[in-house]
Amino acid sequence: MDEDLWPVDADAGQMRQVVQNIVLNGQEAMPEGGRIDLAVSNMELGPGTAIRMQPLVEGKYVRIRISDHGSGILPEHQDRIFDPYFTTKQKGSGLGMATSYSIVKNHEGHIAVNSQLGEGSTFDIYLPATDASVPEGRDLREVMTPGSGRVLVMDDEEPIRKLAAAILRKAGYDAASAADGQEAIEACAAAKRGGRPFEVAVLDLTIPNGMGGEEAVKRLHETDPDLKVIVSSGYSTSPVIAKFKSYGFDGAVPKPYMAEGLIHAVQTVCASSPE
């Protein structure tokens, strides 16, 4: 990152979603593993440069560049990658990249993609810089207070559950993961039989072709009434997120996960447990 990055006026949660969507795309383009590079820099567009980079106008921008070293994108697909419901994956809605494009456009910015088959893809996100002052953020260490106990994370997307488990382990929790509701139920039952039950389970609300959180929470409470269950979802308008207690949950956390939000949700439900 440039040392003196210009500030931008952006919704932090939405921009996290944009970066996560592109990084996950890059990960899926490298099934055998690989490297994703991310760089952030200042860029000032003069009249000539702005014309070449339409729809951007001249001015100051902050550019986020995300590059993978995967299979690349077919030339005929590059013009359609941001179209709603366009996907080349067997699993996936095709909405991730379209959502990212829409978010950046609503911030008066732009996303451009450059890809070569067999060499990888580079996504450039341009956000207009602002002269406004930046409020001081909280030090993440303030919320990374040492935790304890076992936490299960259930999500059908492996990169997401790995990320959540890594965040929780860094905060001191013993974290494990499951791919769907049935797997979560079996893991919790086995843990309880083994004398090391989970204190908290974080369940994704929607699992395509599998048991989601709304059904799983009922069966988990039958297995272990003391288990605290948190619902997670990328659909913030869902009534289950808004009224989670009415659906049997003890807490809610939106996706994409923020370290602070995930840890706070776990700490809150643990604090509400009886001594």
Does the pLDDT at position 246 exceed 60? yes
- Could you give the residue range(s) of every CATH 3.40.50.2300 domain in the chain? 140-270
- Could you give the residue range(s) of every CATH 3.30.565.10 domain in the chain? 12-128
Mean pLDDT of the chain: 84
Nearest to 221 by CA among 243, 247, 196: 247
- Check if CATH label 3.30.565.10 holds for domain 12-128: yes
pLDDT in tens, 143-169: 456 678 899 999 998 888 888 999 899
Helices (H), the chain: 12-28, 47-52, 75-78, 96-106, 158-170, 181-193, 213-223, 239-242, 259-271
Q: What CATH code is assigned to 140-270?
A: 3.40.50.2300
Amino acid at 250: D
pLDDT in tens, 205-243: 989 889 999 999 999 999 899 999 999 987 656 788 888
Q: How confident is the model at residue 93 (pLDDT cuts 50, 70, 90)?
A: very low
Q: What is the pTM of this model?
A: 0.55
